[in-house]
């Protein structure tokens, strides 16, 4: 990495310049296709593209379609996991959902057989088990809990894409199979259709790439929102959220991701990727063309480049606090 300018303003220009260059370079990359297994998701502009960053002190840099809404999809799994931990505590959540990466597809029909729980909260089984833990007497009350959670992160009450929600409900039979399997094992409660509907709702929440960067900055800031100053989520919960994001957040690409990018992150089939740079800020991309894992093609490339250029890998030896110290004489 070239040495960073010492002056804060010059540093911001330096990062903006890099992001603009990457936006131009990868805007020409047309590999991959938007998700269409949920029919309504295919109705996006495949060439929409945004890169956004937000720092823990609230500064923002964005290039491209940063204010274009899209459905958050599986990125919701990360926020919902935090909600479950805060509401029920670690032991209870761990009794339903583990933290082991699976190496399987995100929608695999697979459980942690030894401990009779879902493998981790970032795959569908674990996410549905987490959604089951949302309190409330009916679907309306539970959707309200979820929207309030998003509201704290976004600083506004979010809209749902009701067409995507309906489309997921109409076609989500694989998720139904996973949920009924978990019901048969006593992992989730006997209100399966309602919990599935809530899971589809949480995936259908509309966000922008700029929003995702700000969510990332909140998590990077120990759960304190950089703009509102609100403690959105407790700092020990953030630690757990980022741990599973690092090991499981990019589906069955998670191992390669940690190896090459080394940033806790979560992707969604709507085309978003949310990355967290602890102590620094949030980084997000939006581009709906997906690779075979369900990750945004351009997004993965942009994260790879930015990680390398700015030594963002958590274990990069160039990071000041990781620099080798001389052995004592």
Binding to ligand DON by CB under 6 A, coded x per residue (else -) over 252-271, reads ----------------xx--
Tell me the number of residues near ligand DON by CB under 6 A. Answer: 12
Q: CA 298, 21, 18 angle in degrees (round to 5)?
A: 100
- Residues 220 and 212: beta-carbon distance below 8 Å: no
204 part of the active site? no
Torsion sign (Cα): 272, 67, 311, 235 = negative
> Nearest approach, Cβ of 300 to ligand DON (angstroms)?
14
Strands 272-277 and 265-267: antiparallel
> Nearest approach, Cβ of 122 to ligand DON (angstroms)?
7
- Residues 213 and 54: beta-carbon distance below 8 Å: yes
Active-site option among 44, 269, 276, 297: 269
CA distances from 282 to 73, 124, 165, 170, 248 (A): 18, 24, 27, 34, 18
Binding to ligand DON by CB under 6 A, coded x per residue (else -) over 57-76, reads ----------------xx--
237 part of the active site? no
- Is 80 an interacting residue with respect to ligand DON (CB under 6 A)? no
Within 38-57, the residues that bind ligand DON by CB under 6 A are none
d(CA 244, CA 222): 16
- Is 203 an interacting residue with respect to ligand DON (CB under 6 A)? yes
> Nearest approach, Cβ of 204 to ligand DON (angstroms)?
8
- Is 120 an interacting residue with respect to ligand DON (CB under 6 A)? no
184 part of the active site? no
Q: Of these, 124, 195, 295, 296, which contacts ligand DON (CB under 6 A)? A: 124
Strand partners, 51: 63, 285
Q: Which residues contact 103 (CB under 8 A, 6 or more apart)?
A: 252, 255
Active-site option among 44, 52, 63, 74: 74
146 part of the active site? no
d(CA 1, CA 311): 7
d(CA 305, CA 197): 38
- Is 78 an interacting residue with respect to ligand DON (CB under 6 A)? no
Residues near ligand DON (CB under 6 A) are 73-74, 106-107, 124, 168, 175, 203, 251, 268-269, 294
Catalytically active residues, by annotation: 74, 77, 199, 251, 269
């Amino acid at each position: 990495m070239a040495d960073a300018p010492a002056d804060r303003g010059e540093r911001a220009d330096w990062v903006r310049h890099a992001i603009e260059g990457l936006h131009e370079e990868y805007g020409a990359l047309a590999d991959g296709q938007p998700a269409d297994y949920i029919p309504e998701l295919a109705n996006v502009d495949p060439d929409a593209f945004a890169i956004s960053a937000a720092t823990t002190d609230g500064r923002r840099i964005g290039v491209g379609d940063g204010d274009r809404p899209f459905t958050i999809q599986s990125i919701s799994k990360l926020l919902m996991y935090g909600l479950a931990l805060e509401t029920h505590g670690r032991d209870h959540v761990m009794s339903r959902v583990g933290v082991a990466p699976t190496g399987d597809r995100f929608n695999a029909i697979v459980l942690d057989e030894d401990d009779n729980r879902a493998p981790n909260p970032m795959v569908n089984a674990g996410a549905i088990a987490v959604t089951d833990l949302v309190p409330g007497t009916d679907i309306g009350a539970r959707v309200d809990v979820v929207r309030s959670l998003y509201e704290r992160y976004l600083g506004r009450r979010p809209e749902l894409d009701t067409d995507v929600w309906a489309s997921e409900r109409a076609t989500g039979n694989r998720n139904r199979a996973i949920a009924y399997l978990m019901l048969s094992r006593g992992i989730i409660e006997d209100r399966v259709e309602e919990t599935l509907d809530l899971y589809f709702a949480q995936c259908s929440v509309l966000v922008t790439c700029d929003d995702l960067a700000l969510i990332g900055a909140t998590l990077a800031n120990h759960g304190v929102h950089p703009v509102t100053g609100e403690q959105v989520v407790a700092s020990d919960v953030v630690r757990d959220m980022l741990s599973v994001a690092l090991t499981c957040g990019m589906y069955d690409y998670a191992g390669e991701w940690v190896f090459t990018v080394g940033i806790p992150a979560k992707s969604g089939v709507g085309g978003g990727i949310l990355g967290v740079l602890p102590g620094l800020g949030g980084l997000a991309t939006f581009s709906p063309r997906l690779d075979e894992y369900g990750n945004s093609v351009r997004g993965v490339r942009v994260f790879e480049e930015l990680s390398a250029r700015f030594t963002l890998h958590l274990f990069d030896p160039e990071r000041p606090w990781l620099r080798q110290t001389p052995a004592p004489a």
